[in-house]
A and B are shown apart, each in its own frame.
Chain A
Amino acid sequence: MTPVYFIFLPLIFALFVPLLFKKLPQLHTGWFVLAAPVILAIYYASFIPASMHGETVISSFSWIPSLDIAISSYLDGLSLLFSLLITGIGALVVLYSIFYLDKNREQLHNFYVYLLMFMSAMLGVVQSDHLISLYFFWELTSISSFLLIGYWYTRDRSRFGAMKSMLITVFGGLMMLGGFILLYVMGGTYSIRELIVLAPELAVHDFFLWSLILILLGAFTKSAQFPFYIWLPDAMEAPTPVSAYLHSATMVKAGLYLVARFTPIFAVSSVWVWLVTGIGLLTMTWASFFALRQRDLKGILAFSTVSQLGLIMSLLGVAAVAFHVEDAAGTVFKYASFAAIFHLINHATFKGSLFMVTGIIDHETGTRDIRKLGGLMSVMPISFTLAVIGSLSMAGLPPFNGFLSKEMFFSAMLSLTEFDVFSFDTWGILFPVIAWIGSVFTFIYSFYFVFNTFAGDYKPDLLPKRANEAPIGMLISPAVLAALVVILFFIPNLLAEWFIKPAVIAIQPFLYESPEQVDIHVAAWHGWYSTELYMTLGVYLVGGLMYWQLHKWQKIYNVFSDTYSLNGLYDAMIYFSDAGMNRLSRLYMTGFIRSYLVYMFGFLVLITLGTLAITDAFALDFTGTSPIRAYEVIIGLVLVAGTITILMAKSRLTAIIALGAVGYTVALFFVIFRAPDLALTQLVIETISVALFLLAFYHLPQLSRHEERMPFRIGNALIAAGVGVTMALVAFSAHSQKSIESISEYYKETVYSEAAGGNIVNVILVDYRGFDTLFEITVLGIAAIAIISMIRLRLTRKENPHEK
């Protein structure tokens, strides 16, 4: 069994979930589901020793061979790290959900099928080496996330959140597909590894920048970067295990994975560096600032997730800078990708545990509103401990792993000030400053989150339920994660050896060739003379002071209106595309036949005259025309007179008779232009037509009362004149530019010898081109049947179910 088949293991499990849920109601389905991530985590852990030495495993099977599309699994340091995060945290989340979701009240089979589907999709995303299969799994994560957010589908907010996240992430996904296709056009291969080898050639291609921007759009929407982060706070309507798993630890990191994976291709571009670093930092500071506005615990965590994702994103941007530096391995830039991966792991641990603690609070008190909570410290001591560990790590305090990554983050940002390509020497100073401000707010909201919930006054009368400590089973998963938070602080270098260094060479292959060459040693203590230390101390000092005075200045958030925000913009966009487009289509879909005819004739004139003008096709040539004879002119005048009579007729009867006159005149034309069969047919048919007209309107006596001359309308006349002139011009040009001889010579020569007939027209109709006649007979037959059924068939309105 090659690793590629293991991607589908959760999906295979998912097949049995509904069956188990129905047949074994006494067993919580989660226990069965738990086996999938545990098996996978153990399986992927077995690759760690190989990965530590820079070995990679590639396996694939063909999906659509003719289009060169395959499902592939490429396990290098980066994808192995993500796979372990997905399965490891997946196992903890499933365990947590067993105690969180009630097996009697919830539709567990739906939940676990979606969750397993998501797990497969996510493994596919991080392991795919093939662009198209990467996109396939990417959209599968969007869809399963949509299903999970809308899990409680009877709630409006859930459906709204699911829809919003779907629209935004699928938009990004489609953009990304465009970027992938451009990459394929440029490189001629779908394989990411081969594209990385081709990177220098791609960089000079015209599509390079487009592909870069489109792929970044995909990454930014998925990883909730500015301004696409708005879906994430609304996705908090999902059950808490889902928020912990998808919207903090795994799916939102798919965008980070994408950026990390494509860094070797795009790092050469300054646009990439600026966008990834700049948007990342902006997102970090913006979201950490607005986190303090939230009242819902999960809302705070959602903004904090956005902020932390921005932090990691900016570090990945700095990692790309290293590509542009001579001898980068000797500079501090090499820290960037290391710090990004390190913080990615740290964030997964502490944010996962914080979400689970929030779920516990919600579960035990019945609310997540921070204004109602407080003083839970003594009631829920274990949850409090876990929350403190998570929050202080998030704030960047020792002895938790967040401290280490925050120090490295400052180092990386400071290094930008020393860099003099892309005018970083002018603007570079902004980066550490913005990063520092973002960190101060991170510090404040971390304290806000934990102390406004657990410290202060206990308000039992505000709580829907009497608060209790959670059952032990629910505490296992957050406890494991919190333990990791502390352990990782003390053994960062072991973590580095196992996971981070193999991942770093995947991001920065231009710096290192094997994990052994990554000579980074993490230390908690940099000595007294490092700027990072003073920046951190400043964060603690300013953050602490501001948290102390939070109740005084938190009111400034009321200044920011909901209408003029990114959410307001999104709502307006949705409203416009729904109501606005509806109004637009009502504007031109008037329901009047006249309007549609005006569109059709108008475009006919525009397109035909435009083509005539552009191709310079107009011609008027009198050579080869037949002479004009007196009786032809007279008949022509009669025709014109008849037509004008139709137009001017006061009564419909006059119009019908004038129409008959026009028809007989046409028959006369057929006579003088030597077409006896036509003349005969025309005479007969015109007679029948006029009789039909008269018959039809003989039965409508009321009409005569309303009869009046057709009012002259200048708009209609202009369009009519346009069509008439166009047709005349086309007729002139066509007649004046005959290119080939008629085929009729053949008919004339062979009509007697081959077909044994004298009347050439009739022989054409029944012999040379008999099929035309067959179907013309069919048309007549259909018309006759239709007329009969229309007259005879009388379904009254009551019998018709569609009418009222």
Chain B
Amino acid sequence: MEIVMSVLVGFLFMAAVYLMLSKSLLRIIIGTAVLSHGAHLLLLTMGGFGGTKPPVVAYGVTEAEYADPLPQALILTAIVISFAVTSFFLVLAYRAYQELGTDNVNLMRGTEDYD
């Protein structure tokens, strides 16, 4: 399953990069969101899917049966941070649109003779 998940992660990265290369600001932000999904899944995959039980102490469960808790903690942190960044980006894009009247990043270059 880890190999399949790796392929899936690669696919998410591909889609994310493709979106980030477009010229619409909204698509770029969507791309970053997809990229963080890919990164989170990659973290989870690299930890391995060895355990059969969630990492919560329970009766009758041996330690070997727990899923690896460390990647989960890392992902949890990453989710919150990427959420913060994404919402900031969104508001930034929103304000940029309000001020500049466009969401095409190719038009957001400043003037040609600006040095």
Mask of B58-90 contacts with A, CB within 8 angstroms, 1/0: 100001001111101101110111011111101
How far, in whole Å, are A627 and B52 apart by their CA atoms in the complex? Answer: 12
Query: Contacts A677-B72, A697-B26, A761-B72 hold; do A783 and B88 have CB atoms under 8 A apart?
Result: yes
Which A residue sits closest to B96, measured CB to CB? Answer: A790
- B→A interface (CB under 8 Å): 1-24, 26-28, 30, 33-34, 37-38, 40-42, 44-58, 63, 66-70, 72-73, 75-77, 79-81, 83-88, 90-95, 97, 103, 105-106, 109-110
| A776: chain B residues within 8 A (beta carbon) | 77, 80-81
A717 at the interface (CB under 8 A from B): yes
Cβ-based interface call for A546 (8 A): no
Query: Shortest Cβ distance from B56 into chain A, in angstroms?
Result: 5
Given A625-B2, A647-B18, A692-B90, the answer on whether A659 and B30 have CB atoms closer than 8 Å is yes
Instruction: Provide the residues of chain A in CB contact with B38, threshold 8 Å.
Output: 727
- Tell me the bound Cα distance from A679 to B7 in angstroms: 22
Instruction: Please report which residues of chain A, range 721-774, place their CB below 8 angstroms from some CB of chain B when the two chains form the complex.
Output: 721, 723-729, 731-732, 734-735, 742-745, 747-749, 751-752, 757-761, 764-765, 769, 772-773
- Output the least CB separation between B76 and chain A (Å): 6
Q: A647-B18, A659-B33, A764-B70 are in contact. List 19 more A-B contacts (CB 8 A).
A: A597-B17, A622-B3, A627-B1, A646-B19, A646-B34, A662-B34, A685-B80, A688-B87, A689-B87, A717-B18, A719-B17, A720-B14, A728-B10, A734-B46, A744-B70, A748-B63, A758-B57, A779-B81, A786-B88
Specify the chain A residue showing the minimal Cβ separation from B62.
A748
Chain A 595-636 interface mask (CB, 8 Å, partner B; 1/0): 001100100000000000000000010101111110011001
Let me know if A514 is at the binding interface, CB within 8 A. no
**Cα separation A633 to B3 with both chains bound (whole Å):** 12
- The distance in angstroms between the C-alpha atoms of A640 and B9, with both chains bound, is 10
| A1 proximity list for chain B (CB < 8 A) | none
The answer on a CB contact under 8 Å between A643 and B34 is yes
| B interface secondary structure, majority | helix
By size class, the interface of chain A is: 35 or more
Q: Is A551 an interface residue (CB 8 A)?
A: no
Is A57 interfacial (CB 8 A cutoff)?
no
The answer, yes or no, to whether A681 is at the interface (CB within 8 Å) is yes
> Within the assembled complex, what's the spacing in Å between the Cα atoms of A170 and B80?
54
Most A CB atoms within 10 A — which of B15, B23, B27, B84?
B84
From A620, A760, A784, A791, name the one whose CB has the most chain B CB atoms within 10 angstroms: A760
Specify which chain A residues have a CB less than 8 angstroms from the CB of B16 in the assembled complex.
Answer: 720
Q: A669 an interface residue at 8 Å Cβ cutoff?
A: yes
Select which of A670, A726, A783 is within 8 A of B84 by beta carbon.
A783
A663 to B33, CA, bound (A): 9
B18 touches A659 (CB 8 A): no
Question: A760 contacts B22, CB within 8 Å?
Answer: no
Chain A, range 43-81, C-beta contacts under 8 Å to B: none
* Chain A residues in 8 Å Cβ range of B75: 675, 678
A567 to chain B, nearest CB (A): 29
A580 close to B (CB within 8 Å) = no
Which of A134-142, A145-153, A186-194, A586-594 touches B?
A586-594
Q: Are B30 and A592 in contact (CB under 8 A)?
A: no
A731 to B66, CA, bound (A): 23
Residues of A close to B86: CB separation below 8 A: 689, 692
Quick check: B73 and A769 within 8 Å, CB to CB? Answer: yes
Q: Decide: A626 and B63 in contact? CB cutoff 8 A.
A: no
> Assuming A592-B105, A674-B55, A731-B9, is B30 touching A681 (CB within 8 A)?
no
In the complex the two chains form, is B14's CB within 8 Å of A721's CB? yes
Q: Which residues of B contact A710 (CB under 8 A)?
A: 22, 24, 27
Complex-state Cα separation, A721 to B14, whole angstroms:
5
Give the complex CA separation of A73 and B55 in angstroms: 76
Report the minimum CB–CB distance from A728 to chain B (whole Å): 3
Partner pick for A728 among B9, B83, B88, B106, CB 8 A cutoff: B9
Select one of A666, A700, A703, A742 contacting B68, CB under 8 A.
A742
Q: Are B91 and A636 in contact (CB under 8 A)?
A: no
- Known A592-B106, A640-B8, A674-B54: A692·B69 in contact at CB below 8 Å: no
- Identify B1's interface contact among A628, A674, A751, CB under 8 A: A628
Whether A378 is near chain B, meaning CB under 8 Å from some CB there, is: no
Q: In this complex, what residue of A is CB-closest to B42? A: A731
* Smallest beta-carbon distance A636→chain B, Å: 5
A699 touches B (CB below 8 Å): yes
Q: Are A594 and B105 in contact (CB under 8 A)?
A: yes
A719 CB contacts on chain B under 8 angstroms:
17, 21
Complex CA distance for A728 and B33, rounded to whole angstroms: 19
User: Within 8 Å of chain B (Cβ to Cβ): is A570?
Assistant: no
Q: Known contacts A594-B21, A597-B21, A655-B30: does B66 contact A760 (CB below 8 Å)?
A: yes
Residues of A within 8 A of B8 (CB): 636, 639-640
**Bound: A643/B90 CA distance, A:** 20
CA distance A598 to B20 in the complex (A): 10
Q: Are A681's CB and B80's CB within 8 A?
A: yes
Asked whether A666 lies within 8 Å of B40 as measured between CB atoms, the reply is yes
State whether A724 touches B95 (Cβ < 8 A).
no
* Beta-carbon contact of A696 and B72 below 8 Å: no
Specify the chain A residue showing the minimal Cβ separation from B68.
Answer: A744
Q: 1/0 per position for A657-691, CB-CB distance to B under 8 A?
A: 00100110010011001111110011001001100
Cα–Cα distance between A636 and B45 once the two chains are bound (Å): 13
Contact check, A681 vs B79: say whether CB atoms are below 8 A apart: yes
Q: A744 is contacted by which of B7, B44, B45, B69 (Cβ under 8 Å)?
A: B69
Cα of A367 to Cα of B96 in the assembled complex, Å? 64
State whether B15 touches A720 (Cβ < 8 A). yes
Q: Give bound CA distance, A643 to B92, whole Å.
A: 24
Q: Given B11, B53, B109, which contacts A643 in the complex, CB threshold below 8 Å? A: B11
User: Which B residues are in CB contact (< 8 Å) with A510?
Assistant: none
Give complex CA distance A5, B18 in Å.
69
For residue B10, which residues in chain A have a CB less than 8 angstroms away from its CB?
724-729, 731
Known: A592-B105, A752-B57, A791-B95. A765 touches B52 (CB 8 A): no
Is A780 in contact with chain B by the CB < 8 A criterion? Answer: yes
Q: A591-B109, A663-B37, A720-B15 are in contact. Are A675 and B54 (CB under 8 A)?
A: yes
Question: A751–B37 contact, CB under 8 A?
Answer: no
Give CA–CA (A615, B33) in the complex, Å.
Answer: 33
Query: In the complex, what residues of B have CB within 8 A of residue A644's CB?
Result: 15
Closest residue to B74 on the A side, CB-wise?
A772
Indicate which residue in A652, A747, A772 contacts B69 across the interface (CB closer than 8 Å): A747
Q: Is the CB of B80 within 8 A of A760?
A: no
